[in-house]
Chains A and B, each alone.
Chain A
Amino acid sequence: MYGNDFSEPPEQPGARSLLDQVADAERDLELAAQQDRPTGTEDDYFMAVIAADQKIEPRDWMPEKYRKNLIRQIAQHAHSEIIGMQPEGNWISRAPTLKRKAILLAKVQDEAGHGLYLYAAAETLGVDRAELSDMLIDGRQKYSSIFNYPTLTWADVGAIGWLVDGAAIVNQVPLCRASYGPYARAMIRVCKEESFHQRQGYEILHVLSHGTPEQKAMAQDAVDRWWYPSLAMFGPPEGESPNTAQSMAWKVKRFTNDELRQRFVDMCVGQAEILDLTLPDPGLVWNEAEGRHDYTQPDYDELFRVIKGNGPCNRERITHRKAAHEGGQWVRDAAEAYAKKKAKVSA
């Protein structure tokens, strides 16, 4: 009744194995915690923990660059959850049935929860959430490029669930094994809910593509518009991604952008067939020799334009966030003043 109550969706190739990988990562994390920790000082200890696939914890020494890199990545991840509430939130008021409205509202609420969870993980690295919020608003930190695209029809809500959340999961499942413990644990929790969201999106598209001709056209149009921005979510190709090599050595990242993008394409092709929808790439063909699909790369010039702030909705997204944050200052001030008064009374 309260949202997540839809019946079993049609078969969705690849979805189960992703969840299995999350479960595996969770089990390995528990096993690693039971092992003895390496001995050594500072850098030796740090490298030994990572080599043993154990987790670096907030109390541990870590290289300053590792800390900074993680703050950047986790904060960007948290910001993406928060900004990501806007494109979908845009359709809560107009969802076509009460059940869909409830599911969407629950999903957007989950995103706020993920943001909170990730900010908490970032704070274990010695940074303040308020500071991260400011850095988002004044553009010093980024969020995922995908949320700078507009949600023009209801089918976009389905396409975001299927493609955007799908890409996010493919990206995040390996992060369940990231070497930094709080991040890995956050990812395990987030991935479980995200995979539910992805199923919901897939189900929305499935209903539309098997509905009236207008609904089917709406679904196809949404997939046509969201396919390439979703592929671009994995970031620039090999060689143009400045952080990849170091992140992989530190076992924060486990795969390159291109490897994950390929995995996503291979997963989507079978799902698109069941949806009876076309992926907008005439170059998309099965490559028997390589055991994977060949596909046309996204327009990376467009990706860089969007990352630099010139996508369709960048200004709108930040203006919205800024208005909420600044417009709420008097409320946060009130809560603080009240808490101080109460502390004084009880002291």
Chain B
Amino acid sequence: MNAELATADLNLGDDALIAAQRLAEWTSRAPELEEDVALANIALDLLGQARMFLSRAGDEDELAFLRTDRQFTNVQLVELPNGDFAHAIVRLLFFSAYQRELYTAMAGDEIADKAIKEVDYHVDHARLWTLRLGDGTDESHARAQAAVDELWPYTHELFEGNDLRAGWLAAVEPVLAEATLTRPEDGWAPTGGRQGLHTTHLSYLLAEMQVLHRAHPGATW
């Protein structure tokens, strides 16, 4: 495999893995049981994607459990702490719309072709909830807008080194508009994830995720 492809697999595998880890934290904490099922379902899809990408790049467990935060190359968007349900939904909207653009561009790639069917469902789920929250009550609108404002800057990193942003904006902007939410101005654009320069949140996430595996070197499970 060429080095560029391996790096791409690592990047995409890390994005999906860290997103899955955060989403799985919602299990048993969702606002209704149907959402417990849905969020776990999406987390499971993302974890499946992570496993496929990481397995193509190497040994999935070595890569997931034995690298440090400086070696992970996920975008910062997926590692941010969960926040409230509006944050979960808006992050899912931003991230899954990006994944859809990306996997569409990768058409013909075995993993992307399999994953895009799942991602279509994720985008749809996030879109419907963005509408409900944005155009629901005053409180839900305020929370959804706060989530959009907080997460928007982190979306810039998704489009470094690719030309997917126009398609992404064409997908995301109408959803925000229909949800009566204001699309933020572009400005601050935090970055570094792809170079292993993360927020301070990732180290804690990995400490938890890796603790058992690291406590038993070489064991099988």
Residues of B bordering A, CB below 8 Å = 17, 21, 24-25, 27-37, 40-41, 43-45, 47-48, 50-52, 54, 60-61, 64-65, 85, 131-133, 135-137, 139-140, 143, 208-209, 211-213, 216, 219-221
Does B32 lie within 8 Å of A332, measured CB to CB?
yes
21 residue pairs A–B, Cβ–Cβ below 8 Å: A1-B48, A85-B27, A86-B28, A93-B21, A98-B50, A99-B51, A102-B47, A109-B44, A112-B37, A112-B40, A116-B37, A119-B33, A207-B220, A208-B221, A324-B30, A328-B35, A331-B31, A332-B31, A333-B140, A337-B137, A339-B132
Q: Which of B30, B36, B60, B219 has the most CB of A within 10 A?
A: B36
B47 neighbours in A (Cβ, 8 Å) = 98, 101-102, 105
Does A154 lie within 8 Å of B212, measured CB to CB?
yes
A327 contacts chain B at the CB level, 8 A cutoff = yes
- What number of residue pairs across chains A and B have CB atoms under 8 A from each other? 146
A3 contacts chain B at the CB level, 8 A cutoff = yes
Known A-B contacts: A212-B219, A214-B219, A330-B139. Give 19 more (CB < 8 A): A1-B48, A85-B28, A92-B27, A93-B208, A99-B51, A102-B44, A105-B24, A106-B40, A109-B41, A112-B36, A113-B37, A204-B221, A330-B137, A334-B136, A334-B139, A335-B136, A337-B136, A337-B137, A337-B140
Give 8 closest A-B pairs by Cβ, nearest first: A328-B31, A334-B136, A334-B140, A331-B31, A109-B40, A85-B28, A338-B132, A112-B36
Q: Which residue of the partner chain B has the closest CB to A102? A: B47
A262 contacts chain B at the CB level, 8 A cutoff = no
Within 8 Å by CB of B139, from A208, A333, A341, lies A333
Known A2-B48, A105-B47, A330-B140; contact A96-B32, beta-carbon cutoff 8 A: no
State the CA gap A93–B213 with chains docked (Å): 12
Within 8 Å by CB of B28, from A211, A324, A329, lies A324
Per-position binary interface string of chain A over residues 295-336, scored 1 when its CB falls under 8 Å from any chain B CB and 0 otherwise: 000000000000000000000000010011001111111111
Query: Binding site of B, secondary structure by majority: helix, strand, loop or mixed?
Result: helix
Within 8 Å by CB of A89, from B21, B28, B34, lies B28
A94 contacts chain B at the CB level, 8 A cutoff = yes
Per-position binary interface string of chain A over residues 76-116, scored 1 when its CB falls under 8 Å from any chain B CB and 0 otherwise: 00000010011001001111111111100110110011011
Closest beta carbon of chain A to B217's beta carbon, Å: 10
Closest beta carbon of chain B to A26's beta carbon, Å: 24
Does A93 lie within 8 Å of B25, measured CB to CB?
yes
A214 neighbours in B (Cβ, 8 Å) = 216, 219
A112 neighbours in B (Cβ, 8 Å) = 28, 33, 36-37, 40
Residues of A bordering B, CB below 8 Å = 1-3, 82, 85-86, 89, 92-102, 105-106, 108-109, 112-113, 115-116, 119, 154, 204, 207-208, 211-212, 214-215, 320, 323-324, 327-339, 341
B31 neighbours in A (Cβ, 8 Å) = 324, 327-329, 331-332
A97 neighbours in B (Cβ, 8 Å) = 61, 65, 213, 221
Q: Which residue of the partner chain B has the closest CB to A210? A: B220
Does B44 lie within 8 Å of A335, measured CB to CB?
no
A341 neighbours in B (Cβ, 8 Å) = 135
State the CA gap A239–B51 with chains docked (Å): 53
Does A338 lie within 8 Å of B33, measured CB to CB?
no
Does B51 lie within 8 Å of A1, measured CB to CB?
yes
Does A334 lie within 8 Å of B133, measured CB to CB?
yes
State the CA gap A341–B133 with chains docked (Å): 12
Known A94-B209, A211-B219, A338-B132; contact A324-B29, beta-carbon cutoff 8 A: yes
State the CA gap A215–B121 with chains docked (Å): 39
Does B220 lie within 8 Å of A333, measured CB to CB?
no
Does B212 lie within 8 Å of A98, measured CB to CB?
no
Does A96 lie within 8 Å of B212, measured CB to CB?
yes
A105 neighbours in B (Cβ, 8 Å) = 24, 27, 40, 43-44, 47
B40 neighbours in A (Cβ, 8 Å) = 105-106, 108-109, 112
